[in-house]
Chains A and B, each alone.
Chain A
């Protein structure tokens, strides 16, 4: 009896010790390699006050101020979250090197407060985890603003809590229309209980991404008959619906639109059904972790020798690795400008490469790294403009951002919190990797 009790005691001590140890160390500290090049050449929002001087012994140190970051890095989401987080970290490191921010006359160092929205043991982003993260962020008085989340369904869960606490957040990648546009969400006030705008994004929305995809497929690729699938999630269904509307408006035929529940692995019967309708392109709205590569592999055996097109949810290495040779020639849109082509982005690209050359992408910024970088710099600029360690003041300063020049071009936020910078890039799988082929500014409708 004694032996087994001792055994149970040791086991429970061991388990609690390991839980404690694993709990620490998930917050990234500022101990990442500092970039060697100068800070970005962006001009902050109008009205930079004189209080944003670099501290050199004149102002007192107020400690640290935190920027919360909610991104998915665990499970299968590393390719999404890690390069995005690195964009944030780069901006923070550069700002700290230049002396941090001065708020209420004191000098503060900026620190990242990172929480993963993939739950422990989970495989992908989880709105419930995001909601818990929102509680952690709002409870910390040093957190002044947030970058993230990555996924639209997580944003839906987090927005009411962040809005109630007055904590502003800028997403680098949410594209769902119902997060900001009244036309797509009659119950938008549920996401903004206080009525103030605290949610912003630097990427454009699916009501732009979907239609640009449709325009490209119809005009440039000459496809007239499309079959549409979606992964039944907020983002996937949204972008698929937008594609459908625009494709029909251009005169194309939509042969069918089905939802495929998460966890589907055998697409043979779905593909047989689609093949019987003879489409010339398959549009699949969704994230690649929801089985899209398996669908791709089921297309040729069913007789479907047509390209697949999707949104930014498939423009990542997870798709090309899992779809293999079958994915060659597929198309995808990304709600981000190709930073490599903008003159202002060169300093960002060089700094990013210097800091992260040893990562698994050899220091090449990924689809949302530049977005995250600009989002963070907008927050830092807003902190300087507001000059106060106060969430409401900083949120108001973010909302007033006009003509912010950054790595992804010039950003201003409109009345809904969306960016006026409406670039969509088109990518194609060439030689097993996603290669940029074109980009379009979408005129406001």
Chain B
């Protein structure tokens, strides 16, 4: 196949990759935080992302967005749009956060002192339960997610007068909201007392107890934050692709997990970096190779990183505790 270098297309795909990547980063943060604090790969996390998008549909309905008829699923007034989106985001994040706390309390806390395999299997079980809950709730077919607002397309003129670089305003929205949430998270973890407690618990759980940290609360908070970020991702993603389905969590969760491992599992900036990288890899693979190879490429990248740098890109080599 003749390869001709198309700069405009490359830039377009970089933009696509970054907006995909922001969603993966949000989900990856949940994986990485939970692993950091209790060394569990929470397989149910991707399904919380899916339930987040389902919940977002209900939240939007609450505010008067018609989710059934595609013709009138958009709001006109920009102020109303911002208000509705903000409130729906808050509702979705809180709802998913609480779900995350519930899952931890019921499925993982009783197994906290069990061998590592037990909570892992439990997580797989929770994943199935959540998927089935999603299927029972909204059915097995693709569900319509309202567009919410008619998005203006930002068309940047290029040197070629017939072609434009198209940036969807929703891409910008996703990127901005994700960056804000990630910044808030970083501030929380680095600057607040609860954040310090989280870091301490992740470092050494027993000693943290000795220091007077309420470990149960800290872990519950970690799950709350992780799940709420996944919920936010669910709303943003649903609004972007305008359709969600109960098996969405599986694929998205797998890519986000790859992103978390790529960046160094347990490392928060690593998860963000990993998310953006995986998004870019996907977009470039769809473009230069063919889309049927994209999954293979993403996991190929993961394997390469793990072979040459097992702790991930930003992970630190921690000496094994004896």
Query: Which residues from chain B contact A232 at a C-beta distance below 8 Å?
Result: 292
B13 and A325 contacting across the interface, CB-CB below 8 Å: no
Q: Is A301 an interface residue (CB 8 A)?
A: yes
A325 with B71, Cβ < 8 A, contacts A123-B140, A123-B247 known: yes
Is A165 on the interface with B (CB-CB < 8 A)? no
A325 touches B70 (CB 8 A): yes
Please tell me which stretch of B105-113, B175-183, B248-256, B264-272 contacts chain A, meaning at least 4 of its Cβ atoms lie within 8 angstroms of it. B248-256
Nearest-Cβ distance from residue B76 to partner chain A, whole angstroms: 16
How does the 8 Å CB contact mask read for A326-351 relative to B, with 1 for contact and 0 for none? 10000000000000000000000000
| Cross-chain contact of B243 among A260, A289, A293 (Cβ < 8 A) | A293
Answer whether A301 and B153 are a contact pair too, CB < 8 Å, given A266-B241, A269-B16, A269-B17: yes
**In whole angstroms, how far apart are the Cα atoms of A267 and B248 in the complex?**
14
Q: Which B residues touch A252, using CB under 8 A?
A: none
CA distance A118 to B250 in the complex (A): 19
Given the complex, which residues of B lie within 8 Å of A322, measured CB to CB? Answer: 141-144, 243
Query: Is B9 interfacial (CB 8 A cutoff)?
Result: yes
CB <8 Å contact, A269 and B286: yes
CA distance A324 to B146 in the complex (A): 10
B12 near A272 (CB under 8 angstroms)? yes
B70 touching A324, Cβ below 8 Å: yes
- In the complex, B122 has a CB within 8 A of chain A: no
The listed residue with most A CB atoms (<10 A of its CB), out of B19, B71, B164, B251, is B251
Q: Are B241 and A265 in contact (CB under 8 A)?
A: yes
Q: Say yes or no: A272 contacts B290, CB within 8 Å.
A: no
Which of A268, A293, A303 has the most chain B CB atoms inside 10 A of its CB? A268
Smallest Cβ distance from A126 to chain B, in angstroms? 14
Q: Give A268's nearest chain B residue, CB to CB.
A: B16
Q: Does A62 reach chain B (CB closer than 8 Å)?
A: no
CB distance from B252 to the nearest CB of A (A): 7
Instruction: Please indicate the chain A residues that have their CB under 8 angstroms from the CB of B283 in the complex.
Output: 268-269
Whether B132 and A121, one on each chain, are in contact in the complex, defined by CB atoms closer than 8 angstroms, is yes
**A403 contacts chain B at the CB level, 8 A cutoff:** no
Task: For the complex, give the distance between the alpha carbons of A291 and B245 in Å.
Answer: 10
Name B's interface SS.
helix
| Cα–Cα, bound, A266→B238 (Å) | 10
Q: Is B209 an interface residue (CB 8 A)?
A: no
Q: A interface, how many residues as a size bin?
A: 35 or more
Contact residues in A for B153 (Cβ distance below 8 Å):
301
C-alpha gap A273/B9 in the complex (Å): 7
Q: Are the CB atoms of B142 and A318 closer together than 8 Å?
A: yes
In the assembled complex, A270 has its CB within 8 A of some CB on chain B: yes
Interface string of B152-195 (1 = CB under 8 A from A): 01000000000110101010000000000000000000000000
Contact of B151 among A121, A301, A321, A324 (CB under 8 A): A301
Cβ-based interface call for A32 (8 A): no
* Bound CA span A268–B174, Å: 14
B214 in contact (CB, < 8 A): no
Contact between chains at B144 and A273 (CB < 8 Å): no
> In whole Å, how far is A299's beta carbon from the nearest beta carbon of chain B?
11
* Residues in A whose Cβ lies below 8 Å from that of B292: 232, 258-261
B-facing residues in A232-283 (Cβ within 8 Å): 232, 258-261, 263-270, 272-273, 276
Binding site for B on A (CB under 8 A): 75-76, 121, 123, 232, 258-261, 263-270, 272-273, 276, 289, 291, 293-294, 297-298, 301-303, 318, 321-322, 324-326
Q: Which B residues are closer than 8 A to A by beta carbons?
A: 6, 8-9, 12-13, 16-17, 19-20, 70-71, 132, 135, 139-144, 151, 153, 163-164, 166, 168, 170, 237, 240-248, 250-252, 282-283, 286-287, 290-292, 294-295
